């Protein structure tokens, strides 16, 4: 009988320890998820600040210049129009970097990711505007660019 009490006591302690261990694992996972959500909020805030900065230039631009950067070939633009086009391109890159990061962290669905992936490839394929990609890019975005075809290396 003493052996049964001892075994039952050990079993209860073991179950208690497993319960505590399970609780700690759960708390750790919750903390990790909270950190990911906080990082996503920071990334979104940063993207909004960059958007506000870049759009300030574009909002005050001459409509003819905006038309030109939207519909004319980059090589045909004036220096001012190229400058505006580069501002717009850097804004696009920032948004795309944010999208890559959010997709990799699971915050962007596959159906929202596919159009973004296509837009990134289109901008990357514009060899005259490739200089935009020489800016400091986040590692996740640089790794993504290394994984897609480089149609300018011919």
**Tens digit of each residue's pLDDT (9 = 90 or more) over 36-91:** 777 777 777 777 777 777 677 677 788 898 889 888 999 999 999 998 888 888 88
Residues of 44-82 as b/e, b for ≥16 C-beta within 10 angstroms? eeebeebeeebeeeeeebeeebbebbeeeebeebeeebb
The Cα–Cα gap between 125 and 46 comes to 26
**Mean pLDDT in residue range 5-33:** 84
Asked if pLDDT for residue 154 goes beyond 70, the answer is no
Residue 99 pLDDT level (bands cut at 50, 70, 90)? confident
- Tens of pLDDT along 118-142? 989 998 998 888 888 887 678 888 8
45 backbone φψ class: left, alpha, beta (φ>0; ψ -120 to 50):
alpha
Statement: the pTM of the whole predicted model exceeds 0.85: no
Structure confidence at residue 76 (pLDDT): 93
Stated as kind and residue range, the H or E segment containing 106 is: none
**Mean pLDDT in residue range 10-15:** 85
């Amino acid at each position: 009988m003493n052996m049964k009490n001892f075994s039952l006591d050990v079993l209860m302690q073991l179950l208690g320890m497993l319960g505590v261990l399970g609780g700690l694992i759960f708390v750790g996972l919750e903390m990790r998820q909270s950190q990911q959500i906080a990082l996503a909020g920071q990334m979104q805030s940063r993207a909004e600040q960059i958007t506000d900065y870049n759009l300030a230039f574009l909002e005050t631009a001459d409509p003819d210049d905006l038309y030109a950067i939207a519909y004319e070939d980059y090589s045909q633009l004036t220096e001012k129009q190229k400058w505006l086009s580069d501002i717009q391109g850097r804004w696009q890159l920032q948004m795309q970097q944010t999208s890559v990061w959010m997709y990799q962290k699971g915050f962007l669905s596959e159906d929202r990711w596919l159009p973004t992936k296509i837009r990134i490839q289109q901008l990357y394929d514009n060899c005259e505007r490739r200089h935009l990609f020489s800016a400091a890019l986040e590692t996740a975005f640089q790794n993504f660019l290394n994984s897609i075809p480089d149609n300018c290396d011919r």
